[in-house]
Structure 1
Amino acid sequence: MAALVAAGAYGAIMNAIDRQVGYAAVGVGLLVGLAAGKVGGRNPVLPVVSVVLSVAAVYLGQLFFIALALSDVAHIALADVLSDPGIGGLNDIWKEASEVMDYLFLAIGGFVAFGAAKKVGD
């Protein structure tokens, strides 16, 4: 649940400022890692799971940003953007537009999530 909330917030923040910010990816990783550490305690698998969830949350946040931008540019409802091309269409746009920084933000989120989950779990 924390990953989905973080993804939505990440996409909304990027839409509000019209660009990606490394601190937002850090926030996603921190939120996911803290939630995983609190829920799972000292389970050694948790940091790895939090990395996967954090990377997925940053990715979904980037897709949400694309959907919000398309909605603004085309002057159509967000629900129509999400239902018409769906996740597959947004993924195609992401693949075409992705740059090194997009992958870096995925890695930053995962790195922070791993550290946060490990620290909270100990």
Structure 2
Amino acid sequence: MSQSAPPPQPQPQPQSLPTDANPFAQQPPPAPARGTMALGLVAAVLAAVAAAALYGVVIGLTEHEIGWAAVGVGFVIGVAAGKLGGRSPALAITAAVLALGSVYLGQLVGEAMIGADQIGVSFSELFFQHLDVVQRAWKAEADPLTFVFFAIAAWAAFSGAQKAAR
């Protein structure tokens, strides 16, 4: 007697992908490099220096402090810190402190531009060789609105860092 083998059962076939499909398409893309406190800090410092220079030039050319420019200074610093540094309350506070320094430096640059024009010397000579004179002139012209601009810039930096990190 010969036994017959049962007929072969069809095996389930794996679903094949079209030849033009990306086999990695189901995987999410890698997250961009973010969230490093050091990178956020470096970006905030660079933004603070650039914003101070620009703010100083605006003050020097217009011979007035401009509130919206102080908002811009703070916001640029905060966004740079938040985008590259991620969520960190310490980084947002650092951005606010940098904004205070940036507005102050910008006001000194503006004061030096105005003073250099008035006394007929170069900006670099007045700013770099006689910074004490520039600081005394700034103190003499500072009014309550000057300090409001400091507060606005710090607030814009802090809130900009928090919003950019989301």
Q: TM-score, normalised by structure 1?
A: 0.94
Shifted more, 90-99 versus 44-53: the winner is: 90-99
Higher mean Cα deviation, 23-32 or 39-48? 39-48
Partner of 1:36: 81
Looking at structure 1, the residues matched to 62 and 130 of structure 2 have their Cα atoms a distance apart, in angstroms, of: 24
Q: Do residues 82 (structure 1) and 99 (structure 2) align?
A: no
Moved more, 104-113 or 76-85: 76-85
Alpha-carbon offset, residue 18 of structure 1 = 1.7
Is 1:25 the counterpart of 2:70 in the alignment?
A: yes
C-alpha separation between the residues in 1 aligned to 2:127 and 2:59? 17
> Which of 1 and 2 has greater Rg?
2
Q: Write the distance in 1 (CA, Å) between the matches of 2:114 and 2:74.
A: 23
Q: Find the residue that maps to 1:108 and give its secondary structure.
A: helix
Query: Are residue 106 (structure 1) and residue 150 (structure 2) matched?
Result: yes
How many residue pairs end up in the alignment? 121
1 or 2 for the larger relative contact order (CA 8 Å, sep ≥6)?
1
Within 2, Cα distance between the matches of 1:40 and 1:50? 11
1:57 aligns with 2:102: yes
Please name the residue that 2:7 is paired with.
none
How far off is 1:44 after superposition?
2.0
* Aligned-partner Cα distance in 1 for 2:128–2:65: 24
If the length of structure 2 is used for normalisation, what is the TM-score?
Answer: 0.70
Say what the alpha-carbon RMSD is for the aligned residues.
1.0
